[in-house]
Amino acid sequence: GELFFAFDHFHYARSVPVHVEDMKSLPPSVLQEFMEGGFAVNRSKRRFSSIAIDQGHEQLNKVIKGSGGIIGLTQDPISMLNWSVCGPEVSKRLEQFKFTSNAEEDADQDYDFYHHDERIKNQGDFLDDLKSLTDVIRQHDNPFLQFGSELVSLEGLISQDKNSVSILEEAGRSQYNNFVKEFLVEKTKAFDAPVKKNNFRIFKAEKRRRDAAKKT
């Protein structure tokens, strides 16, 4: 959360502390469920295919979204209520019908349990990428073994403000702690109160000012 403040990502900077504090105050039963992997769901029997719960909801919503999706429903309370109550059930029934009609998944011996990254083609593509990377390192030397006083990105950009690296985490942590104290603990500031910008420019190019004389 500190780096969101440090790099001026204000939407995340405001939301992450609230989420963290929510996680700290979870009931023991919910915390135990999360520790056992209850924060993800599986929509198939394939290995390594768990997805976040909200992503699972989005995939289920897609099943019953028609042309235009749910655009406009928020303007009609009755339609919104119907969607909220009936939507999950309709999606659930459609998913149940889909899986009960899938004979391959019912018969485990015929079902393809492999994750897509386990397939031969994907493994071959990975090895090709790995070979390309090692060839470049052999040709141009390993950038991770280079020593010097400059701060260089993987793209070869040289930082013009490398001194900020040593203070950005501390600055972000200070802003994070102040936000938690003033908004969540003391409640002396509003959630959308202005947050001071740091303008740390690590690898960003300076913005060019338009020449006023060239404006038409």
What is the DSSP track for 4-54? HHHTT-HHHHHHHHHHHHHHHT--HHHHHHHHTTTTEE-SSS-TT--EEHH
Is 63's pLDDT higher than 80? no
State the total domains in the chain: 2
- For residues 165 and 197, membership in a common domain is answered with yes
| pLDDT of amino acid 128 | 94
pTM for this entry? 0.54
- The mean pLDDT value of the chain amounts to 76
- Establish if 27 belongs to a structural domain: yes
DSSP 71: T
Structural domain boundaries enclosing 126: 119-159
- For residues 153 and 168, membership in a common domain is answered with no
Residue 104 pairs in a beta bridge with: none
- Establish if 147 belongs to a structural domain: yes
- Establish if 46 belongs to a structural domain: no
Is 24's pLDDT higher than 70? yes
DSSP 108: G
- Nearest residue to 104 (alpha-carbon basis) of 44, 43, 41, 42: 44
- Establish if 214 belongs to a structural domain: no
